[in-house]
Structures are given as C-alpha cells and as structure tokens.
A and B are shown apart, each in its own frame.
Chain A
C-alpha cells in the first residue's frame, strides 16, 4: 500500500493561493524528492499531508486512509522550521517528544542511547538545547523524527546546517531506512543530494506540479541530444556528430548529435574504430540543478512573454 497518495489538492490562505492542484504518489521503500523554489507550496503540501492544514479541495491518503492520528503515528517529521524545547536538556526533550509518539520512557531511553551515540551526542545529554550548536540541534531534531521507528519519514531540508561528515551520516541513515522497506520524502534545495539519494521526484512551482517521475526520466526529458566520451587514441570523424567540445581539461569530450542520430548509433560507430579505445560512454544528461533553474526561469520567462 502506498504510504502517501495526493490527489488534486488545493489550498488558499485569505487571497493567496498556496497550492493550486497538486497530485503525486509515493511508493513504499523509496526515497522520494519533493522539490521546488521557495514559496512554491512544498511546505503547505507537506502540512496538508500531515493533517496540520485541511486542503480546500482534493484528497490525501496516508497508508490508504484519510490523515488522522493512527496514520500520523507511522510518520516521522523533520520540519523546515526546527523547534525543540530550548530550556529542557537534550535527553528530557527527546524523551518527551518520543512519548508524544507513544514510545514509553524506558523504551525511549534504550533507543536514544543508540541514536545519541551514533550521532555523537551522547556526551551532551544533560545540556540544555539552547547550549547546543545549530548542527547538534539539527541532529537532535532528526533523532526526534525517527525515534518511534516510523514507516514514513518526511524531512524538510535535512542537510541544512550540517557539515560534510554529518551530511554523510544523515545520507547513510536515510539509505538504511529505505533499505528496511520504509519510505522517505525529502524536500531540499541541494540537488546533487537528490540525484544521489532519490529514485523518484516531484517538482512544484507556483503551487502546481511541473515535473514528476523518476529522477532519471526527468533528466532524460531535459537532455540535449549529446553524449559524453572518455577514451584514448585517434578519434576519426563520426557520422551524425555536429561538433565535439572538450569539457575543461578533464579529457572528456561532449559530442553534440544531429536530431536524427541516436547515441546508440554513435556507440556502434566508435566500436568500428579499432584505433580508438573507449573508456567511458554516457548519454549527456543535465544536472537536476540545471533542470531546476531552467524550469523555474522558464516559468518566469513564459509569464513575461504572456504579459
């Protein structure tokens, strides 16, 4: 059963439309990316999925049922607006939050011992939250989101304020989580991490879905007809190649193809050149970062043209 199915939801605040018509589905055991520029409606969508706001229109199903406390118990949430009890010590704060999710104090203590050790917070349990660094607070908040072992983890900007070591740690935990058959929905602006972690994605802009599918599909959708080539030896002219562009001094070549030539045909032509040895051959796909900018700027451009 899909952990989350969102169907044509819309939400307005006073005169401002936050979400126009958004639909997507998140399957079990996947890491799913929810992308979009600031103010696109991502957080509002998440809040509706979590039953914090009611949608004006459309339906939401969490584990096959309408959002409610039963379903929410199976969800862990790391909100964009981080919030912990600043005057409580770390251990008391996490035990209280675990209790709100139905975890008994003794069990919470047992689980916290492991998590705090893993997140290098074990020596800070008696410190007040206020006295912890921003990165430590972030890790503490992350622990609070998964202490009750949820089936669906929704994380909003999980890597903000983290150094590379802790970023790697969070990535590791998210991968383990998905490997256990649990689901992760990740909202972030760090596109390289989405490429690295997520299988599928949805991009929302101005309250509407503008991209939806697997990360590979989306990148292919935006790919120019070009291939990346690494190799050595003399390279003879290839039919269907319009131009050859060296990418910096890496030795990699970017081959721009004409509209009628497929990358497969170039590969076959290369194979027919015994003097040239191919080390790497790949379809040249744009990064999600480039796609993000193109989609967002394209929307602005279209609006300017219409105006």
Chain B
C-alpha cells in the first residue's frame, strides 16, 4: 500500500508541476472570470435618471402612462418638453440625460430622433418603448384591461405537464444548466485523468522505465498508484474549474440581475459522484489496456479517441435528452456502460428516471469497470515490454485467459 501511495504521490506531483497542466487548469477559470468581468462592466453602465421627449405627434396626449414594473426602468423619469429649445436647455443644465423628438408622422413612419446621447441604456430604451406602446394602444381606443394585456400578452403564461400539473419553465432551464455543467465537469475529471494515465504508461513504455518498475512493484500497485494519483489530478482540475465558475458566477450575480435569478440546485450534482468512481475506473482500465496493446503514444491517442466519442455521445445528442429523456435512445445510452456516466447524469437531472434503470445502469457500469481493470492488468503484464510491437488479438485473448 505504501508503494501504491508512493506511485500516486509521484504521478500527482509530476503532472501538477508541469507548465502545460497549470496553463490548462487555470486558463479556463481565468477566461470565465475575464468574461464575467466584461459582462459586469457592460451592466455597470449607469442608466439615465431622466429622458426628455418632444411629442410632435401628440401620441402621448391621450395616454395615461403607467409606471413600469422593472426597478431600473421605474427609476427613469420621462419628462415632456414643448419644443427643442426647452429640451436643449434642460439637457444643458443636466436636468435630463438625453431627449427624443417624436415626429408628427410617427404613428405612420416610426420616425423619432435621439439628442444628447449616442444611444439609450437598455433600461432607458425599455422605458421609452413601454411609453410608446402605451401611446399607440391609447390611439386604438381599447378598454384599459385589454390595453394592459396587449402591452404584455405573455405576462401570465403558465406551463403545465400534459397531466395538468404545474411546470416551472425556469426550473427546466436551470436543470439544463446543471446537466451541461455536470457533464462537462464529469468529462474533465474522467477524461483528463484517463488521458494522463494513458500518457504516463505509454511514456514509461517508450522510455523503457517500465522494466525497472515492474521488478520493484506489482502491476496492481503500479496501476493502482497511477489510477489514484491521476484520478486526484482530475478532481483537482474539476475543483479548480468549479471554483472558478462559482467565483465568477458569485461576482456576476452581485451586479447582473439575470444571474441572480438563476437558482442552481447542488442536489443535481450528487449523481455525478455516484457514477464518477466506476466511470473513471472503466476508462482507466481501458487506457491501461490500450497503453499495453499499442507501441506509441500517437496510436494510443487514436484508440482512446474512439472510446471518448462513445462516452460523449449523450452530450452530442443532448437535444434528444432535453426533449425526450425517457425515449429509446436516451434510455439505451444511459444503460450502456461507456456512455452511461453522462447519459444517466443527463436523464437524472432532466427528469424522473425509474429506480430499476438507475440500479441497472450503475450495476452494469460497476461490473464493466471491474472487468476492464482486471483485464487491463493481465494485458499490461504481457504487453508492457513489447517495445515497438502491437499485441495481436490472439495474444490479448491469451493474456486475459491465462494472465
């Protein structure tokens, strides 16, 4: 056990100290933070306190302008001016931030001109838009309640399941965010660890250290140590990324309302942990076997790429999972061991999966992972010293059968 930990410690430190690892691990969170900073800066542009208007069309004369519901829009006053000169004077004294002239043929042409600013802030623009809508609707001489509905026809849209029970559309959006984030984290943890494992074993085969190592420790200790060390490495990457995203989200939520309104359920991440260990062991076993079978890193990467494609198939077909999480394709992919980790994760987050399917998927994954590691250890014993030669199918079968 001490030597297994020695290998794990060595592998972890060896990779963590590499410049490439630091760049890859810290690069994404930094990018997210920079992106979030840009969003915050854009949103920090102060909306107007007062916008003036010169109504040459008489659009607002018969309209009762109600206050908008949005806080930011509410804070913006609309100030009427009789003519350009009065508006200009107010603009010069700072009483208003800008003003618009609504042309006399506005109702027919939509012509209006903004003075004093290049453009309005988003709340200012919405504030003016609501006022213009109200003015136009007032001309149609509609009943007040009809006019209110016409202003925002989807204000009271309700979503329901086909059985009539209420459905929260924002919750579905949030679940999709959780599903995608969870899948990405899962991919990062498993595939980066498995890829480092493959790289480490092929490197040892290529630089001939494997002969020294296998006369010092058992293949089980070697593979176990590497799987543990590099698994922790994957978790480190996932934690750094998760922390980076959480930090960026936290900062963004302080300044950006839409982010504040999204409530991510951490419970959605629990299934990731359930499938994480057997999922990683399955891919680790496959990578060990590949490293023993093929002679070069290039060939190993090609084989590893094939397994990765199958594993991320659920993400590639995510639309099917979002629209029909209980359909044949989604169910099949969530049961098949290679695609199960991400497939089942998507289904668990998006809908209600029957217990027997979760149990079956998990059991198949555990059995496959155990088989993969067991076979990989046997193949590794035979293939590790085959420098420059690929193992033949007959040899692989013999290795698995006899050891």
Contact = CB atoms under 8 A, between A and B. Distances in A.
Interface of A: 14, 47, 50-52, 69, 72, 75, 77, 79, 81-86, 88, 96-97, 99-102, 144
A83 B212 CA distance: 7
The 3 lowest CB-CB distance pairs between A and B, nearest first, are A83-B208, A100-B216, A83-B209
B215 A84 contact: no
A81 B387 CA distance: 10
Contacts of B214: 52
B385 interface: yes
B208 A82 contact: yes
Nearest to A82: B208
A82 B208 CA distance: 6
A2 to B, nearest CB: 19
B215 A72 contact: yes
B3 A88 contact: no
Given A69-B217, A99-B6, A52 B207 contact: no
Contacts of A81: 208, 211, 387
A97 B7 CA distance: 10
B207 A100 contact: no
A166 B381 CA distance: 35
B210 interface: yes
A253 B60 CA distance: 133
Contact of A84 (B6, B7, B209): B209
B218 A69 contact: yes
Nearest to B7: A100
Contacts of A102: 2-3
Interface residues of B, number: 24
B346 to A, nearest CB: 39
Contact of B3 (A75, A79, A100): A100
B14 interface: yes
Contacts of B213: 100
B105 interface: no
B216 A72 contact: yes
A88 B14 contact: yes
A75 B215 CA distance: 8
18 contacts: A14-B392, A51-B215, A52-B211, A52-B214, A75-B215, A79-B211, A79-B212, A81-B211, A81-B387, A83-B204, A83-B212, A86-B207, A96-B6, A99-B6, A100-B3, A100-B6, A100-B217, A102-B2
Contacts of B80: none
Given A88-B14, A99-B3, A99-B6, A79 B208 contact: yes
Nearest to A141: B212
Interface in B205-244: 207-218
Contacts of B385: 47, 52
Nearest to A99: B6
B83 interface: no
B126 interface: no
Contact of A52 (B7, B204, B215): B215
Contacts of A75: 215
Contact of B215 (A77, A85, A88, A99): A77
Interface in B174-215: 204, 207-215
B390 interface: no
Contact of A144 (B10, B212, B217, B218): B212
B395 interface: yes
A88 B6 CA distance: 16
Contacts of A47: 211, 385
Contacts of B210: 83
Interface in B1-33: 2-3, 6-7, 10, 14
Contacts of B14: 88
Contacts of A79: 208, 211-212
A52 B219 CA distance: 10
B251 to A, nearest CB: 38
A152 B395 CA distance: 32
Contacts of A96: 6, 10
A47 B395 CA distance: 18
Contacts of B395: 14
A144 to B, nearest CB: 7
A97 B213 CA distance: 8
Contacts of B3: 99-100, 102
Given A100-B212, A100-B213, 8 more contacts: A14-B394, A69-B218, A72-B215, A84-B209, A85-B207, A97-B216, A100-B7, A100-B217
